[in-house]
Copies of this chain bind each other. A is one copy, B any other.
Amino acid sequence: MVLYPHMTALDIVGPHEVLSRLPGATTTFVGAGAGRVPTDTGTLSLGDKADFSAVPAPDVVVVPGGRDVAAQLADAALRDWLRAVDAGATWMTSVCTGSLILGAAGLLEGRAATSHWIVRERLREFGAEPSPERVVVDGKYATAAGVSAGIDLALTLAARIAGPQVAQTIQLAIEYDPRPPFTAGSPTTAPAGIVGHLRANAHLIVTS
């Protein structure tokens, strides 16, 4: 579970709440240097993480997104670690703008992938084919749409890793029976005025 400064907290806490419940799983937080990181709301910090060098052979990698895409794409330490662990990992996954980081590491070339809807087309910069699906699995590379989509990604992974019975048990344990009070979670279903407002004010979602 990758942590980096000014990431979006729910991007990693959603998947962690699911994947840490897999029988026999050990979840480790990892980033540049041991310690903790501030998240993109400023008031919440997450930890404790181990330094990249302490986690050379993860089975499953989850990369979260965050508002400051430019900073993420300039993060050479993260990119280098992702490239180094890719060969041995069973699953390389991302939530939200985390897929741009996988892309920048060269891991999505020629693959279908998704990201937060407001930056999804930028996947093309890294040779990936943007998909409007909420969770996209292409080989061992699984990417999720924005922020809350990490929960759906993680349940999908749980089923692939431990079988559908285990995934359903975890889903019931976290009572994931979503009932959004509005139909506004996707640019294809939200009222046009809401979509237009966010497109015109993309800085509310990503600042770069």
Contacts and interface: CB of A to CB of B under 8 A. Distances in A.
Interface of A: 8-10, 13-14, 16-17, 20, 26-29, 36, 41, 43-48, 96, 116-117, 134-135, 145-149, 151-152, 155-156, 159, 164-165, 167-169, 171-182, 184-187, 189-191, 193-195, 197-198, 204-205
A56 to B, nearest CB: 18
Given A27-B41, A41-B27, A147-B17, A177 B169 contact: no
Contacts of A45: 36, 46-48
B174 A10 contact: yes
A148 B185 CA distance: 16
Nearest to A194: B168
Instruction: Please give the count of copies of this chain that the complex contains.
Output: 2
B182 A148 contact: no
Given A8-B17, A41-B20, A182-B171, A134 B27 contact: no
Contacts of A20: 41, 43-44
Contacts of A13: 9-10, 13-14, 44
